[in-house]
Structure 1
Amino acid sequence: MSHLLEVRNLTVDFHTAQGTVHAVRDVSWHLDRGECLAILGESGSGKSVSASAVMNLIDCPPGEIVSGEILFEGEDLLKMPSERRRDLNGRRVAMIFQDPLSHLNPVYTVGFQISEMMTTHGEPKDKARARTLELMKRVGIPDHENKFDQYPHQFSGGQRQRLMIAMALAMKPDILVADEPTTALDVTVQAQILRLLEELQAEYGMGLLLITHDLGVVAEVADRVVVMNAGEIVESGTAQQVYKAPVHPYTKKLIAAVPGEGEMAEPVGQDEPVLKIDNLRKVYGGFTALDDATLTVLPCETVAIVGESGSGKSTLAKTVLRLEDATSGAAYYDGRDLVSLPAKELFELRRHIQMVFQDPTQSLNPRMSVYDIVSEAFAIHPDILPKAKWKARVQELLEQVGLEAAHMSRYPHQFSGGQRQRIAIARALALEPQLIICDEAVSALDVSIQAQVIQLLKRLQKELGLSYLFIAHDLPLVRDFAHRVVVMQGGKIVEQGPVREIFESPREKYTKDLLTASPHPDPEVQAERRKARMELEKTA
């Protein structure tokens, strides 16, 4: 029996100035109609390259498809004339990309961009418009008729991903390739997008090729799984087989690194708080982004702030650090109010409170070496350390976060994402702070790298007595890392308490919804959760 899509012995190389990179090596897999195949692996494993080869999106050069076949309904895409392949792309085989903001054109309305998918393939403009409105309604865009003429920046992240799905489905394709479609989304939005993909797959009878590093997403939607590492397939089977009885050491390592299975931390003592926030409020032109937030952070404590995008998590962090000016309220550190502190005193106090941002690629200056990035703190606060001792201290800090002294002369682009985040942590530690605010500091990292960084933060907390204000949307990670949890919704704190209390006995419906929406990596557990969720929806 022939498959809808079959990749046979695919090998892809990239020729660089440093030599040839074997991105995909002798890879074979297949996808049938109505089936969801997940290709699972970390950054650099080759999963996205193999999907890009299917869509003819590999730049050649520097890329080169060395050998193999990609059979669509028995016909080799690699031998197909370019005109015919262009006709298939979008019409028969479509793709959803990871970052919709990068793949939606900011200067065209979303209605035009979705309609263009159809007019390019010969659909009349009036029919394309009608179909676009139908798709926007189908994927859950509110007030879709008025939103037709709006631009990508006027939509939320989840809505932009829904628009990308509408665009991909415009021509009712036989195959939908989804490359990390939910990575940057909140758990509730992620659950909605995954459910939407499942519904649409059933409705259109598509084959769904899902590229991901998230075992929870695999458990939710995948029928079969292919695990890739270093360009090769190391394991394959049903989602349940791969999770319950992994054979390859790499698969076992991925499963072991999944958060949410460890012991929950007990509350720390009742010391005087490092940070005390009282009724902090931030209003932007009539919109209340932060509404009377009150919380404390104790010495050697990790307080996690969770909630969806727009809940006020990052606004709270920025207001505490005076990156944004509070409308009212107070934030006391060492008995002094950060909100009303004069600029000179605030400058001196800032050395005690540092921040690690979500994306180290954006937060590290690409023109500065690692040595310059880490030692910049000593240049800004020259009374901390004489210049003669800077090099030795930078070396010590790099070794403290698991890097080497030899890395000092390199630049950010020469490191992996996990290594860049370690550099950002070293920079934050340079001033020996008492409190570090982590704003989604590990959300963009692969699961095993994420586990390494969390273990590093735990070790540093124990060794240096650090406190963390940890902003995250990954609830299993919070469960393993935090001592206390603060839940935010619509700018307000709706619930807070010890991590065990929040995860085992949540009081608020919003907290319960967040926990229910968070996918579990075990397909059996996730199936039970889905069943319970559907029963709840029937009775609602």
Structure 2
Amino acid sequence: MTDHLLEVRDLSVQFHTAQGIVRAVNGISWHLDRGETLAILGESGSGKSVSASAIMNLIDMPPGEITSGEILFEGRDLLKASDEERRRLNGKRISMIFQDPLGHLNPVYPVGWQIAETAMAHGRGKAEAYDRALALMERVGIPDARASMGKYPHQFSGGQRQRLMIAMALALKPDILIADEPTTALDVTVQAEVLSLLEELQEETGMGLLLITHDLGVVAEAADRAVVMEGGLVVETGTPRELYHNATHPYTRKLLAAAPGKGAMREPEDGPEAILEVRDLKKDYGGFEALKGVSFDMHAGETLAVVGESGSGKSTIARLVLRLEEASSGTARWKGEDLLTKSPRQMGKLRRQLQMVFQDPTQSLNPHMSVFQIISEAWVIHPDILPKARWPERVAELLDQVGLSPEHAKRYPHQFSGGQRQRIAIARALALEPDLIICDEAVSALDVSIQAQVIDLLGKLRDELGIAFLFIAHDLPVVRDFADRVLVMQRGEIVEQGSVRQIFEQPCAPYTQRLLAAGLDSDPDVQADRRAARLALAGN
């Protein structure tokens, strides 16, 4: 028997692939107690999600195989339980929420039915299950919960969908809730709300919370203890304060060193005349004003960050400037010429100077094209830039410039990590030697050390080539390290703008103050102060 609610002992998991055996988890051990929040911290490929999947019996076998270990729930080894026993436990005693709620909610059923189904699958009557679903939706803060019962997943925001997933996971009051990267794609304020909600629910129910994350700020905000994983191994364990102040393993220290928001802030310089002048830019979608008259300037070699929550209009600015959508009114002058009045042919020529790097390189890179074809496609479209004989040499130069090998030109996107794919996307943008690159959440989905590498790369390109960056982001620590100036947007309007130092140290707008208070810091002591500030602002 064990005194722990959940204990993993010497667990090893491997996968049989065409390239051979991949050992994803190598003899790990840790425990979770009732009422405790344990964070499993590590980057992609560390084995943290695989170990959680083993707890829930979600590993496909084959190709997966659990080669050793025990998973003890209240002293009983789950690996020896029958499929029927595991079905009785999953959802009722042990539940799980995932990073992408839209991918785990059924798009063709109302959300109320989906939450109630969890209870009905474990023997509850229909009326009781629906009453429980309604109560849970109200508890997790879904507006007008009764009417929302009949809505579908696509009719909710990302934060609301994550709340619905939490409601579904809690339908049967589980003893353990496993949260796999539950806040990674969420705005800072929504992230803070979701973590606060999980903490409140944990206090009410006494459940153990297993929090899987790569975000040191999440650990500082929510965890009682943390297990650090690298390469399928547990390399260090301790409280957030112990790990932050006294980390002993090189990997933990590397993660801490890569955490954004700790570097010196850049001071904007008095540069040349503006290369981009946006005035009174508006966008109306059939009565909904996405942009309500936005005005700003950008200078050569400058990084202007645009921050705000989902729906604030920051990505709409990028689409309108690049003419991916048409503005309702306003002007966007690029080197004196209004982009919004140009013909498609004229815009085609100007786009050589205006390039974009998207959030998800997996979707923005053609999987059927080699890296050489992806990068050289720019010269196919603009054949006057570079003679075809020079393409191989220039592709090799661009790959070297973004920290990849010239040999990578023969490979395809699926053969690279997420960080490497984003470097390929940057190389593609550089192929046309642009004066402005728009980065739309270009680093938000990357692991902390990969994120730091990409930001260092963009900073090097800015300094060496004089490229200006319009940097759209919700990750405030990254903005603090990389930007010269910041625009803060809310509901289609700029509520505040200024230098990085001004925005981060002397914010004037209440909305900016709330954004900064909601941001997460890797230092548990700083995070405790932010939590206090957040509670004080909420009280006002």
Q: TM-score range by the shorter chain?
A: over 0.9
Residue matched to 1:166: 167
1:233 counterpart residue number? 234
TM (norm. structure 1) is 0.99
Residue of structure 1 in register with 2:95 after alignment = 94
Q: Structure 1 CA distance, aligned partners of 2:395 and 2:538?
A: 55
Q: Within 2, Cα distance between the matches of 1:59 and 1:336?
A: 57
- Post-superposition Cα deviations, 1:427-486, rounded to whole Å, max 9, x if no partner, equal 000000000000000000000000000000000111111000000000011000000000
Instruction: Tell me, yes or no, if the aligned pair for 2:271 and 2:300 is still in contact at 8 Å.
Output: no
SS in 2 for 1:451: helix
Is the partner of 1:419 in helix, strand or coil? helix
User: Residues 537 and 489 (structure 1 numbering): CA distance in 2 closer, same or farther, change over 3 Å?
Assistant: closer
2:327 corresponds to which residue?
326
Supply the distance in 1 between the matched residues of 2:22 and 2:397 (Cα, whole angstroms): 33
Deviation at 1:507, TM superposition (A): 0.8
Structure 1 residues 426-435 or 289-298, which shifts more? 289-298
- RMSD of Structure 2 on Structure 1 (CA): 0.7
Q: Which position in structure 2 is the counterpart of 1:195? A: 196
Q: In the alignment, which residue of structure 1 is the partner of 2:246?
A: 245
> How far, CA to CA, are the matches of 2:531 and 2:472 in structure 1?
27
Alpha-carbon separation, structure 2, partners of 1:33 and 1:347: 60
2:393 is aligned to 392
- SS of structure 2 residue aligned to 1:526: helix
Give 1:532 deviation, angstroms. 3.3
Rounded to whole Å, the distance in 1 between the matches of 2:418 and 2:494 is 32
- Equivalence for 1:55: 56
* Inter-CA distance 536–332: structure 2 relative to 1 (3 Å threshold): closer
Equivalent AA in structure 1 for residue 250 of structure 2: P
**What amino acid sits opposite 1:131 in the alignment?**
R
Secondary structure of the corresponding residue to residue 3 of structure 2:
coil
Tell me the amino acid that sits aligned with residue 251 of structure 2. Y
Residue 7 of structure 1 corresponds to 8
Matches within 5 A, 1:309-458: 309-458=310-459
- SS of residue paired to 1:339: helix
> Does the Cα contact within 8 Å between 1:280 and 1:328 map onto a contact in 2?
yes
SS at match of 2:471: strand
Output the amino acid matched with 1:155: F
* SS of equivalent residue, structure 2 residue 177: strand
Give the number of equivalent residue pairs: 539
Aligned to 2:117: 116
Task: Give the corresponding residue for 2:79.
Answer: 78
Q: Which amino acid aligns with 1:67?
A: S
1:275 Cα deviation from its structure 2 partner: 1.0
Query: Within 1, Cα distance between the matches of 2:243 and 2:174?
Result: 29
Report SS of the residue matched to 1:149: coil
Distance 2:123 2:478 in 1: 48
Q: Which residue of structure 2 lines up, in the alignment, with residue 41 of structure 1?
A: 42
SS at match of 1:495: strand
Question: What residue identity is the alignment partner of 2:511?
Answer: Y
Determine helix, strand or coil for the equivalent of 1:308.
coil
Residue by residue over 1:166-188, the C-alpha shift from the partner in whole angstroms, topping out at 9 and shown as x without a partner, is: 00000000000000000000000
Which amino acid in the other structure matches residue 332 of structure 1? R
1:500 and 2:501 equivalent? yes
Per-residue deviation, residues 60-100 of structure 1 (Å, max 9, x unmatched) = 11110000000000000000011011110000000000000
Is contact 1:290–1:315 with CA below 8 Å preserved after alignment? yes
Shift of 1:536: 4.0
Partner in structure 2 of residue 261 of structure 1: 262
Displacement after TM superposition at 1:529 (Å)? 2.2
1:255-294 alignment runs, 5 A limit: 255-294=256-295
Distance in 2, matches of 1:470 and 1:236, equals 36
Match of 1:460 in 2: 461
Secondary structure of 2:295's aligned partner? strand
Corresponding position of 1:484: 485
1:342 CA drift (Å): 1.6
**Cα distance in 2 between the residues matched to 1:464 and 1:249:** 34
Alpha-carbon distance in 2 for matches of 1:171, 1:480: 44
CA distance in 1, matches of 2:245, 2:305: 31
Q: Which residue number in structure 2 is paired with residue 104 of structure 1?
A: 105
Cross-structure match for 1:66: 67
User: Are the counterparts in 2 of residues 268 and 300 from structure 1 also a CA contact under 8 Å?
Assistant: no
The superposition leaves residues 373-408 of structure 1 with CA deviations (integer Å, 9 ceiling, x where unpaired) of 000000000111111111111111001000011101
8 Å contact from structure 1 (residues 277, 295) kept in 2:
yes
Shift in Å, 1:291: 1.1
Cα distance in 2, alignment partners of residues 536 and 259 from structure 1: 24
Please list the CA deviations of residues 341-390 of structure 1 after superposition, one character each: whole Å capped at 9, or x if unmatched: 12221111110000000000000000100000000000000111111111
C-alpha distance in structure 1 between counterparts of 2:283 and 2:238, whole Å: 51
> Once the two structures are superposed, what CA deviation does each residue of 1:135-191 show, in whole Å capped at 9, x if it has no partner?
000000000000000000000000000000000000000000000000000000000
Secondary structure at the aligned position of 1:172 is classed as: coil
1:299 and 1:80 map into 2 onto residues whose CA distance is: 64
Distance in 2 between the 1:536 and 1:514 partners? 11
Q: Distance in 2 between matches of 1:478 and 1:249?
A: 26
TM-score for the superposition, normalised by structure 2: 0.99
**Deviation larger for 100-109 or 523-532:** 523-532
Residue 129 of structure 1 is matched in structure 2 by 130
Match of 1:178? 179
Q: Is the 8 A contact 2:514 2:534 kept in 1?
A: no
Matched residues in 1 for 2:435 and 2:272: separation? 14
Deviates more, 1:417-426 or 1:339-348: 339-348
Preserved CA contact (<8 Å) 1:274 1:435: no
* d(CA) in 2 for partners of 1:271, 1:496: 19
Cα distance in 1 for partners of 2:373, 2:530 equals 49
How far off its partner does 1:2 sit? 1.5
Aligned to 2:521: 520
Amino acid at match of 1:374: I
Task: Mark the CA change 1:314 to 1:206 in structure 2 (over 3 Å): closer, same or farther.
Answer: same
Q: Distance in 1 between matches of 2:533 and 2:323?
A: 44
TM-superposed CA distance for 1:335, in Å, is 1.1
**Structure 2 unaligned runs (5+)?**
none
Pick closer, same or farther for the CA change 1:537–1:291 going to 2, 3 Å. closer
Letter in 1 for 2:53: S
* Structure 1 alignment gaps of length 5 or more: none
Deviation at 1:521, TM superposition (A): 1.0
